[in-house]
Structure 1
Amino acid sequence: MQNSTEIMSSKPEFVIVPGAWHGPESFKPTSDLLSKEGYTSHGITLPSVGANPQVQSFTPDAEATKAVLDKVLSSGKDVVLIYHSYGGVVGSEALAEYVKEGPKPGWGKVKRLVYVCAFALPEGSSLMAALQFKPLPWFILDKPDIVEAANPQEILYNDISPQSLVDELISKIQTHSYPTFSSQLTVAPWKTIPSTYILCEKDNAIPIFAQEGMVAAAKAMAPNAFDTVERVDASHSPFISQPEWLAEKLVKAAQ
């Protein structure tokens, strides 16, 4: 019989890829709950967030994600990747070698991908292509190669309270390197790796119809894609507004 230490060590570990403008600390309300359940989480710090000078493609973000992923897998641990928003693009690209060549002998495996209101796109696409090459109305593009979010309370945190928490969250938002939105994906890992999509119905950044459209398009290309779809009455940031609900779904994804 396994003792408690052996059971905990056998659990997969989470690798969290945040969205644009955000650092991994934004996931803390949820990752703290995962920790209480005995799970280890690794948050990715994206080079495109708060960059100076700006990065000119999503490659640094994908490489930063791959470096953490490789470190965990090489330790023999299985991994569940969590993608939020833009993180779905660079997190997918980080798996290019894994998808094309397969897991390395003796390494752990990627157990599941979880797209939390994240971009799930096919090969050859980009975030800007998904937006029909038009910046969203709430993009602020006043500085060269930099995109900022107008009215983040309405767009990103519209179901979060109290106001003091919203103000704190807004104070931590950083600039984002706009050229990363034009980089094209070379892989679509959701075609072959078991994947979950978290649909967020109150999302004002990626509206629910756009999320549903990406899932439908994925299933049209690969019928087994997104074998699990969860729906929550939440904004673009359920890891802050509904951490208990999301942590429960993430634990389910890891089993």
Structure 2
Amino acid sequence: MPSPPPTIILSHTAFHQPAHYIHFCAALNEVGLTEYRIPQLASSNPTPPKTDALAQDIAILRKTIRSCLSSGRDVLLVAHGYGGVPLSDAVSGLGDVGGRKDARVLGVVFVAGVVASEGEGFGSAMGSGVAGWVRLEGDTCTAMNPEMTFYNTVASKELVEEAVDHIRPQSTTSLMSPLGQAGWTGFPCAYIKCTQDNAIFPKDQDHMVAKLQKQCEWKPTIVELASDHSPFLGCPQKVAGMLKRLVDEADRAE
């Protein structure tokens, strides 16, 4: 009997929420990846926490990952933009998770994701500080010109307007706090570089790729996608297809 598909756990990017990924979920269903979780991170919220936002995001993701592993399903972790920072810590210390003995983390896929090493935060991980499109407003911050920052290659005006309506404020502390642990180094990693990204610029993504190549215990898989920061909206079928191929490769390597 074939094994059930793994659960895709997506750590969403800053200023976003699960509603931004509805079209991606439909694309996952189409390729047979019918189990997925996109937990709402505390840092992206109408009233985000003033302190400890990164720690809260890490706790939310760690709880989700542990719950899925304990249920007996393999998981594939996907980190979008800022989501790479809390996910990097959340994936640490998973060796004591109970449940089916062969339930495992298949890998970590960064999609224009921030690859943070121990002691780095969102800005310092890129080496260029907090992005210039982020407007700091005390305890919270907002994204300037989200249409061109996040969705500059999305053809549908209707989809862009809907996505902008879902944008939320972001906790300032979530972008400033340093990471405690970089657990991604102990898992197979892949990076999907979005070559037309106006949020995490391609040169910054190259910096992330170099970290993976230097610090990951496995040789990372690197692919390019002619997309803005939001391929989950503009070309969800392509991202879903890439994840399906990674899952199939992990199954063959088992």
Q: After TM superposition, is the score higher than 0.5?
A: yes
Structure 2 residue ranges without an equivalent (≥5) = 249-254
Instruction: Name the counterpart of 1:10.
Output: 4
- Cα-to-partner distance string for 1:156-189 (whole Å, 9 max, x where unaligned): 0000122222111111100010101122222223
* CA distance in 2 between partners of 1:252 and 1:85 (Å): 21
Please give the TM-score of this superposition, normalised by the length of structure 2: 0.90
Q: Does 1:209 align with 2:203?
A: yes
Q: Does 1:116 align with 2:111?
A: yes
Question: Pairwise CA RMSD of aligned residues?
Answer: 1.8
User: Given residue 249 of structure 1, which amino acid in structure 2 is its aligned partner?
Assistant: M
1:73 is aligned, of 69, 72, 76, to 69
Instruction: Name the counterpart of 1:234.
Output: 227
* CA distance in 1 between partners of 2:167 and 2:61 (Å): 20
Please give the TM-score of this superposition, normalised by the length of structure 1: 0.89
Alpha-carbon shift at residue 194 of structure 1 (Å): 0.5
Instruction: Name the counterpart of 2:237.
Output: 244
2:194 is aligned, of 190, 197, 200, to 200
Q: Secondary structure at the match of 1:96?
A: coil
Alpha-carbon shift at residue 77 of structure 1 (Å): 0.6
2:139 is aligned, of 136, 145, 170, to 145
Structure 1 residue ranges without an equivalent (≥5) = none
User: Given residue 64 of structure 1, which amino acid in structure 2 is its aligned partner?
Assistant: I
Instruction: Name the counterpart of 1:170.
Output: 164
Instruction: Name the counterpart of 1:87.
Output: 83
- Cα-to-partner distance string for 1:94-113 (whole Å, 9 max, x where unaligned): 11222xx4554635211111
| Percent of residue pairs bearing the same amino acid type | 28
Query: Runs of 4+ in structure 1 displaced over 6 angstroms?
Result: none
Task: Tell whether the 8 Å contact from 2:92 to 2:184 is kept in structure 1 after alignment.
Answer: no
* CA distance in 2 between partners of 1:105 and 1:170 (Å): 40
Instruction: Name the counterpart of 1:23.
Output: 17
Task: Tell whether the 8 Å contact from 1:202 to 1:235 is kept in structure 2 after alignment.
Answer: yes
